[in-house]
Chain A
Amino acid sequence: MIQEKYFEDVNVGDAVIELKKGPLQKLQLVMYAGASGDFNPLHTDDDFAKAVGMKDGVIAHGMFVMGCVGQAVTSWVPKNRLKRLGVRFAGMSKPGNTITISGVVTDKRVVDGENIVTCSVVAKDEQGDVKVSGSFDAALPSKA
């Protein structure tokens, strides 16, 4: 079970997440296509992907990588504490890539009686190229 995090224990500048995913496999993209309902052949059919200019073939669904970011976030804070998750799709992920997701606390404040922590989050491949960047808000309990 994910350990509860307390507002008092979290500080701006803290590194909060470290999750490594991969290497990405084509089979995962097939599974994700079926699970999500996104059947764009760019993600599952090498011939199609090459025909539209992807020289190495298929690329991952952006939403698959966001799903991995969601996994990373909810391995730091319990899922029912998550209030918002937003990302920008910055680069394409390919089979063989190993994606590392990390995050840093950027703000903490009390809003309408809720203890809100905001963190930046970024997913990079083994070369350090950014695939997805974004942020999330979580409402944390207080020890008091």
Chain B
Amino acid sequence: MADLSKVGTEYPPIVWEVERGKIREFAKAIGDFNPIYLDREAAVKAGYKDTPAPPTFLTVPMMWCGKMPDFINDLKINFMMVLHGEEEYEYYREIYPGDVITGTPKVTKMEEKTSKSGSKMDMITLEVLYTNQKGEKVAKARSLLVERK
């Protein structure tokens, strides 16, 4: 059962260097062959500085940093009972190869809810604000985790 007193907890930053090959690999894995992700020249022609990161790319630093199990443990969430309920990204700037992205994860909301069928669950919102090496805000990710009880 999630420890609801942990709301407001901030975790150590996630730091991630963005590589051109990872952007291409991620786009291809989705089956998105938009040339702006695959070819620098096509991206420049379309008005980008370089091949930009696709809309859901910020899952890459989050998953590859390997910290999610630590957050889940710290929040006393039962890993076997947790579902990914929602995901939202707000975009402020493009993310390009060579950028060094720093994400600051924070637990912004924790609450118990009762479903229509009467079962109880804890809803945990984790927000990560990402900045680049110039200190510019690039995006915010918001994840809703649902722990069934």
Contact = CB atoms under 8 A, between A and B. Distances in A.
Interface stretch (B84-92, B104-112, B116-124, B128-136): B84-92
Given A32-B30, A86-B88, A63 B55 contact: no
Given A35-B22, A35-B60, A63-B56, A84 B89 contact: yes
B34 A32 contact: no
Contact of A79 (B36, B42, B66): B36
B17 interface: no
A112 to B, nearest CB: 13
Given A35-B25, A80-B48, A80-B94, A70 B86 contact: no
A73 B55 CA distance: 9
B29 to A, nearest CB: 4
B86 A75 contact: no
B32 A1 contact: no
Interface string B50-71: 0010111001101110100000
Interface string A61-81: 011101110110111001110
Contacts, number: 114
A74 B52 CA distance: 12
Q: Is the interface of B mostly helix, strand, loop or mixed?
A: mixed
A85 B55 contact: yes
Give the size range of A's interface with the partner: 35 or more
A113 B63 CA distance: 36
Nearest to A84: B90
A118 to B, nearest CB: 13
B55 A79 contact: yes
A32 B62 CA distance: 14
Contacts of A74: 32, 34, 54-55
A36 B63 contact: yes
Most B C-beta atoms less than 10 A away, residue of A32, A62, A67, A85: A67
Contact of B84 (A2, A62, A70, A80): A62
Given A2-B34, A28-B31, 14 more contacts: A21-B31, A34-B29, A36-B26, A36-B29, A37-B62, A64-B30, A66-B56, A67-B29, A67-B56, A71-B31, A74-B34, A74-B54, A87-B86, A89-B84
Interface of A: 1-2, 21, 28, 31-32, 34-38, 52, 62-64, 66-68, 70-71, 73-75, 78-80, 82-89, 134
